[in-house]
Structure 1
């Protein structure tokens, strides 16, 4: 006998979304989470729901991201209706600024490649030169170096902390069980099928187990034949005081929140598990931001923090089922906000049905085991 249908190890962006979806499919779900001091990628989430430019040279990831962004309006509306919590989600497009003519030309060529990968999909990104950019967004006061930008129609933004809180609240409303301060320490396959999951002195049994513990997945995966190579990537973020509107839509590395603060980021630093903030990182981020929006020079910075992203060798997600321990799965990515609609929808449905679709096979971690000479 088992206590649950599924035990989810991890209640961050990925685990919470999948758990929320499974609970809505009448599955008995237990979510086990660590403490607030754990290495949570959600702490440094920029809050972008972003498609354009993702998956260059990887059409499968491109399609997955576009699919997730297209599902976001319905996903957000349903979550807000279930919880009464405002997510501050909006989809008005997203910009990638270019700071020279050469940069804009290179970005345009990149978007041509991106669109050519999926010729059956309608183009969702457009190149805007400086004049077109100003006509489209007349309220923006751009720096002299801004040559233009690319605009993604499917892109948007959300308050990431409200999103996580809403998914957990909705999960509990749907009958899911959650134990905080219960980081999973062991997963034991049971004779005849199923698993016993250990979290310190707590134990529970389930027919299936999903590992969605971020960087902690590296320790748990091998227990059930899912050894996924993961590494931390530090991201630093700055936030200003509240300002009058100056950025009408989010941009890559720059967005104004619904409260008026401006978030500036994000660094990509391969420094292991070092969570320090640095002056060098702050200077690099602010210099670029000021080249785009000079009015930010008048703003006060009120906070700087860092967190660790969960990265695979190629930067793409991993979705895999264990061959040696049927019923065990792993899901990890660094785009937990963008892919939340997919995790709560199609991915949760696949888990509930007992197996992943063929379309997700390309995201199996065995792709990293190909010999280098092949």
Structure 2
């Protein structure tokens, strides 16, 4: 039975970022990845580093997202230096396009509310003429947009690969095909059973996405997460026409165009649905008419990891100190914060005050 300073359960973007950050901090780290039997939300990620509109009603989430966006360049530089992978990070700002005056008014009200709640980060309403000047080729139905200078995007698959390669380079152990069946608190830490295999650790992080719900009570935590399906379409490679990420269209570094996004409450169904894909394609062709000539080459769905209020969950167990939770549906956006802020806090043994609002105790308050 091998012993570690920290075991991270969950090999997706959240767990991999925390594991890499902890290993860079000098800890002996094991990253336990369930393998291809897992739901693999990380592999279905759209790839946005998205700030505008993030954290409405929860200023702590807005601040955490902004911190992560600011930390992303340091994360990129470190990973690309260690792995020779190009993560494709670009942060030119991003657009949320609106197809009616009513939609634009609703969006503007949200941005105004967030500015009052969390401070002005430069997000603003852009009229039709300015939007067309900044993004040539917009459809006639686009009446305007909101633009945030902090928004960006990256390649989620290269990010995942880079984090796991960086973990190994820092001396950590990446352990695939480890399905955790039992976590037992010990006087000096925790014992984790993966079938008949055992490891011990002084601290652990539950970052297993939707699987965390069943594991959390074993260490005195609560992670009431639920799935929310999203579908994505991908076109063939196209000439470069989009220099900015948008809420539901982005052109990748290879030239393909990704189209999203749906929000479907269908439980654990990871299938795709033609009628939903038609809706995605129809709306995005109204925004970018050039997409009508593109050939779709693939599509997929993935299950977001959603808390009851849609915001992340971060907490240390009161019953079993040293056990931490980490759950969110923004694995790319928050990768900088997870690697360079959350991981050091775990090694220090105490979450900073800025993360206290993310405790699962907020759900008990809401229920009461």
Task: Please tell me the TM-score bracket, short chain as reference.
Answer: over 0.9
**1:112-191 correspondence runs (5 A):** 112-119=112-119, 122-137=120-135, 140-190=136-186
Q: Aligned with 1:22: secondary structure?
A: helix
Gaps of 5+ in 2: none
Q: CA deviation at 1:371?
A: 5.4
Once residues 227 and 234 of structure 2 are traced to their aligned partners in structure 1, the CA distance between those partners, rounded to angstroms, is 22
Whether the aligned pair in 1 keeps the contact of 2:244 and 2:250 (CA below 8 Å) is: yes
**1:243-262 correspondence runs (5 A):** 243-262=238-257
The answer for the alignment partner of 1:14 in structure 2 is 14
Gaps of 5+ in 1: none
Q: CA deviation at 1:118?
A: 2.2
The answer for the alignment partner of 1:323 in structure 2 is 318
Residues 129-188 of structure 1: per-residue CA shift (max 9 Å, x gap): 010112223xx2111110111111011110100000001111100000111001211101
Residues 253-306 of structure 1: per-residue CA shift (max 9 Å, x gap): 111111111101111100000111001111110010011001111111111111
Which of 221, 230, 238 is matched with 1:226 structurally? 221
**1:271-286 correspondence runs (5 A):** 271-286=266-281
**1:235-250 correspondence runs (5 A):** 235-250=230-245
Once residues 229 and 17 of structure 1 are traced to their aligned partners in structure 2, the CA distance between those partners, rounded to angstroms, is 22
Q: CA deviation at 1:246?
A: 2.0
The answer for the alignment partner of 1:37 in structure 2 is 37
Whether the aligned pair in 1 keeps the contact of 2:152 and 2:244 (CA below 8 Å) is: yes
Q: Aligned with 1:316: secondary structure?
A: coil
Once residues 194 and 284 of structure 1 are traced to their aligned partners in structure 2, the CA distance between those partners, rounded to angstroms, is 50
TM-score with structure 1 setting the length: 0.96
Once residues 121 and 306 of structure 2 are traced to their aligned partners in structure 1, the CA distance between those partners, rounded to angstroms, is 28
Once residues 100 and 261 of structure 2 are traced to their aligned partners in structure 1, the CA distance between those partners, rounded to angstroms, is 21
Whether the aligned pair in 2 keeps the contact of 1:229 and 1:313 (CA below 8 Å) is: yes
Whether the aligned pair in 2 keeps the contact of 1:240 and 1:261 (CA below 8 Å) is: yes
Say if 2:109 is the partner of 1:109.
yes
Larger CA deviation: 30-39 vs 230-239: 30-39
Whether the aligned pair in 2 keeps the contact of 1:52 and 1:124 (CA below 8 Å) is: no
Q: Which runs of 4+ in 1 moved over 6 A?
A: none
Whether the aligned pair in 2 keeps the contact of 1:6 and 1:209 (CA below 8 Å) is: yes
Q: CA deviation at 1:102?
A: 2.2
Q: Aligned with 2:218: secondary structure?
A: helix
TM-score with structure 2 setting the length: 0.97
Once residues 57 and 215 of structure 2 are traced to their aligned partners in structure 1, the CA distance between those partners, rounded to angstroms, is 31
Q: CA deviation at 1:34?
A: 0.8
Residues 317-365 of structure 1: per-residue CA shift (max 9 Å, x gap): 0001111111111111000111000010111110011111121111000
